[in-house]
Amino acid sequence: MSAETDAETRKTRNAWLLSTPALVLLLFAASGPLLIVLTYSFLAPGEYGNVIWDLDLRGWISILYTKDIFDGTYHLADAHLSIFWRSVKLSLMTTAITFAVGFPTAWFIATRSPAQRAFWLFLITIPFWTNLLIRTVAINEVIRNEGLFNTFLIWLGVIAEPIRIIYTDTAVLIGMAYVYLPLMVLPLFAAIDRFDMRLLEAGYDLYASRGQVLRRVILPIVKPGIVAGSILVFVPSLGAYVTPRVLGGGKNMMIGNFIELQFGQGRNWPLGAALSMTLLCVVMVALLIYVRAANKGDNQHG
């Protein structure tokens, strides 16, 4: 028994030793910068950027409140809340749109023959070959006032003057839906590819309608793919910077743009750090909700 215990101890020690380089890298490369940002959020802002090493909670207070320069009173920061609400709203709408478009697309690909399936997956992955900025500029060329969309509608005689889409929330939504659509399609395809199509025949044999088969058979089984795709779309959408910057024109900011503004022109590093940590917390809460919903669904159908 002692020999078995010693062998198990050596095995555990060797496992820790082998994982030490990865743990050290994770500590300094991931946790280190986060600790620096967290520390900055509790310091005072410098006059020309940087921080003053004095304990100060103004960075966190400024997330929700602004100080009146005349009487020193604090008021609710409507502009900050508007940016937060726009970020969450557009991220949720992007997730919903990519699912509405991605689910039929993934189903179509998964039901093709192996040769055709490889071709369609190849087309889905093509956008990853180009830089995010290039893809965003391409969407800009499509939806701007003199872009392909308005030019085509004017040529058809549908409209007399261009529809203003660029530099609006709609433009940002279109751009993010286009950019993150492959991140929804691929997990859905992986889930649908493992789906047993005989379950559809069983559902129809039991006189279920197409809507009932979709709700009670297909969606519960492919739910892991839905959860994975939603996470992969929602998280980067919430912290998006390039797409809102190019398509929003600087006035339709999201959280990522607001954080960059504080570290740049705003020269308020503690506020930028506090906003960064707030974004991190929001993402963590969203991930916990998604995972809990997925586990709950697995327990109900397990």
121 and 61 in a common domain: no
Could you tell me the residue range of the domain that residue 235 belongs to? 77-301
Average pLDDT, the chain: 87
Q: Is the pLDDT of residue 301 over 70?
A: no
**What residues have CB less than 8 Å from 268, skipping those under 6 apart?**
45, 59, 62, 262
Cα 191 from Cα 107, distance rounded (Å): 10
Q: What tens digit of pLDDT does each residue of 227-278 get?
A: 889 999 999 999 999 999 999 887 788 999 999 999 988 889 999 999 999 9
User: Which of 75, 90, 117 is the endpoint of a domain?
Assistant: 75
282 and 231 in a common domain: yes
289 and 160 in a common domain: yes
| pLDDT at site 190 | 92
210 and 182 in a common domain: yes
Q: In terms of pLDDT, which residue wins out, 8 or 302?
A: 8
Cα 252 from Cα 249, distance rounded (Å): 7
Cα 13 from Cα 15, distance rounded (Å): 5
The model's confidence at residue 299, banded by pLDDT at 50, 70 and 90, is low
State the CATH number of the domain containing residue 216.
1.10.3720.10
216 and 110 in a common domain: yes
Phi, psi of 274, deg, nearest 5: -65, -40
Q: Is the pLDDT of residue 296 over 70?
A: no
Q: What tens digit of pLDDT does each residue of 169-182 get?
A: 999 999 999 999 99
122 and 71 in a common domain: no
274 and 129 in a common domain: yes
User: Which of 60, 75, 90 is the endpoint of a domain?
Assistant: 75
176 and 130 in a common domain: yes
User: Which of 54, 75, 96 is the endpoint of a domain?
Assistant: 75
The model's confidence at residue 104, banded by pLDDT at 50, 70 and 90, is very high
245 and 133 in a common domain: yes
116 and 103 in a common domain: yes
251 and 137 in a common domain: yes
52 and 160 in a common domain: no
Q: How many domains does the chain have?
A: 2
Q: Is the pLDDT of residue 300 over 70?
A: no
